[in-house]
């Protein structure tokens, strides 16, 4: 068993349906209240189409999770070349790839069908392009590096609107280096204009669904920031905000206190900060951690963006260390990688384990059991299944029942089941909130068997068949 086999998170299942609609219709309409940027959906639809999948019902779940995995590999490649450009050596980049590529948080979200890994990839692309611009040489001219930087920033923003936090943290970290940056940009205003132009062009092209939905551009640049301000303030009225409001130290808890195997990179970054550090990377990590901690709305996948500079910093320091420090860092790198390997083995043994801090608000494996029960009853009886759950409690059931199509109906109130009973309809399966189960059999006396299932923490349902 591997983490590719873990139960789909409700968010993953919801994202999969959006990718399926894009696959079927060829269009994506951005809605800041519902989903993030479109890069994940375009990439997933392209991979599914290449594999011969043409509809939501035919979506390949493994291939969906391989979509962020491809961008995880790209992120490591960008990191390798960025550090080579920065240090002039290949060793630090390879050390970075081993350190981050084995980190449990990176491995977990590399196969999680959400936008976080794409944001990480394009952030690393920005770092690579920025290192190339500030350390010229080779075939690419400064203007080309500026264009690549703008494209990377546009792709990051088109992956997830919270890229603005990344931009803000990088800006804060760059303040002590303002003199060097001004020197590099002196007389190169054209390069700044190129970067801004390509950022705007890339983001606009994607959010407008390639010039077919201009409302998406307004939503991304104007409406989405206001929506996220409400979430950042912990506004319980904002969609999904109240469930994810945590104290300011929550990211520190996720990074350090939950499991010792997951704390290797942050601890290594702290150690590296004690001797001639790459100050920009440490300041960037600290700034992003502080900004994220001040925002009440917190989720563990957002911690991945904080881990990126923490993994870069000790590897970037290697060439400038003295012999003793270099040997110490190398030894700690090997120790960190060993800790990571143990953590990955533990995750693979039970990918649905609640001991994995990244299994946050995740679906229970019983959701798959419920889906299998529904499918078996549909195959046996040839009738339809009625699911009467609040929308937020339904996922990931629709994803697992995607092939059933119109044979499964979804409602939100028990009154709608009463209407079905009044019409004489006899579903093969009925699924309702556990506390409403006693009301079902009087409506559908032909359903004689029942069983409780856990959909996710604090969400329990009862099935009748």
pLDDT at 437 over 80: yes
Placement of tokens 């077919």 in the chain = 212
pLDDT at 237 over 50: no
**Average pLDDT estimate for 285-304:** 94
pLDDT at 174 over 60: yes
Phi (first) and psi of residue 353, to 5 degrees: -60, 140
Q: Which residue has the higher pLDDT, 350 or 303?
A: 303
Where does the pLDDT of residue 276 fall: very low under 50, low under 70, confident under 90, or very high at 90 and above? low
The pLDDT mean for the chain works out to 89
**Average pLDDT estimate for 394-414:** 92
- Spatial contact of 88 and 137, defined as CB atoms under 8 Å apart: no
What pLDDT, on a 0 to 100 scale, did the predictor assign at position 351?
A: 87
**Average pLDDT estimate for 13-32:** 91
What pLDDT, on a 0 to 100 scale, did the predictor assign at position 187?
A: 64
Neighbours of 33 (CB within 10 A): 11
Where does the pLDDT of residue 293 fall: very low under 50, low under 70, confident under 90, or very high at 90 and above? very high
What pLDDT, on a 0 to 100 scale, did the predictor assign at position 238?
A: 47
Distance, in Å, from the CA atom of 177 to the CA atom of 171, rounded to the nearest integer, reads: 10
Q: Which residue has the higher pLDDT, 279 or 82?
A: 82
Q: Which tens digit of pLDDT belongs to each residue from 187-218? A: 678 899 999 999 999 999 999 999 888 898 88
What pLDDT, on a 0 to 100 scale, did the predictor assign at position 35?
A: 75
Q: Which residue has the higher pLDDT, 438 or 230?
A: 438
Where does the pLDDT of residue 77 fall: very low under 50, low under 70, confident under 90, or very high at 90 and above? very high
């Amino acid at each position: 068993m591997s983490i590719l086999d873990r139960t789909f998170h409700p968010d993953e299942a919801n994202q999969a349906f959006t990718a399926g609609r894009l696959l079927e219709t060829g269009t994506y309409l951005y809605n800041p209240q519902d989903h993030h940027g479109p890069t994940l959906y375009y990439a997933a639809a392209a991979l599914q189409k290449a594999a011969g999948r043409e509809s939501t019902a035919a979506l390949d779940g493994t291939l969906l999770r391989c979509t962020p995995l491809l961008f995880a590999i790209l992120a490591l490649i960008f990191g390798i070349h960025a550090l080579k450009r920065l240090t002039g050596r290949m060793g630090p980049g390879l050390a970075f790839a081993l350190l981050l590529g084995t980190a449990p948080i990176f491995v977990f979200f590399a196969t999680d069908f959400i936008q976080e890994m794409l944001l990480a990839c394009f952030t690393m692309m920005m770092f690579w392009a920025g290192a190339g611009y500030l350390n010229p040489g080779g075939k690419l001219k400064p203007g080309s590096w500026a264009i690549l930087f703008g494209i990377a920033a546009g792709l990051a923003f088109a992956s997830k609107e919270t890229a603005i936090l990344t931009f803000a943290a990088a800006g804060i970290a760059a303040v002590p280096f303002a003199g060097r940056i001004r020197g590099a940009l002196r007389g190169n205003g054209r390069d700044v204009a190129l970067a801004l132009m390509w950022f705007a062009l890339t983001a606009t092209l994607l959010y407008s669904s390639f010039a077919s939905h201009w409302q998406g551009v307004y939503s991304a640049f104007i409406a989405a920031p206001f929506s996220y301000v409400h979430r950042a303030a912990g506004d319980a009225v904002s969609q999904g905000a109240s469930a994810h409001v945590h104290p300011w130290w929550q990211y520190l808890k996720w990074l350090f206190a939950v499991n010792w195997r997951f704390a290797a990179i942050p601890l290594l970054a702290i150690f590296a900060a004690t001797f001639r550090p790459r100050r920009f990377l440490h300041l960037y990590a600290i700034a992003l951690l502080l900004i994220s901690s001040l925002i009440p709305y917190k989720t563990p996948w957002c911690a991945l963006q904080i881990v990126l500079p923490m993994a870069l910093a000790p590897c970037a320091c290697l060439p400038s260390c003295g012999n003793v420090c270099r040997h110490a860092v190398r030894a700690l790198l090997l120790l960190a990688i060993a800790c990571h390997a143990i953590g990955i083995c533990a995750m693979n043994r039970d990918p649905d384990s609640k001991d994995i801090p990244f299994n946050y608000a995740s679906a229970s494996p019983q959701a798959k059991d419920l889906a299998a029960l529904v499918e078996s009853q549909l195959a046996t009886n040839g009738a339809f299944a009625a699911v009467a759950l609040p929308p937020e409690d339904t996922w990931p059931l629709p994803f697992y029942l995607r092939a059933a199509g119109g044979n499964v109906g979804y409602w939100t109130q028990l009154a709608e089941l009463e209407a079905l009973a009044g019409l004489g309809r006899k579903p093969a399966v009925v699924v309702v909130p556990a506390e409403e189960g006693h009301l079902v059999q009087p409506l559908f006396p032909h359903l004689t068997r029942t069983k409780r299932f856990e959909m996710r923490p604090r969400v329990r349902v009862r099935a009748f068949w």
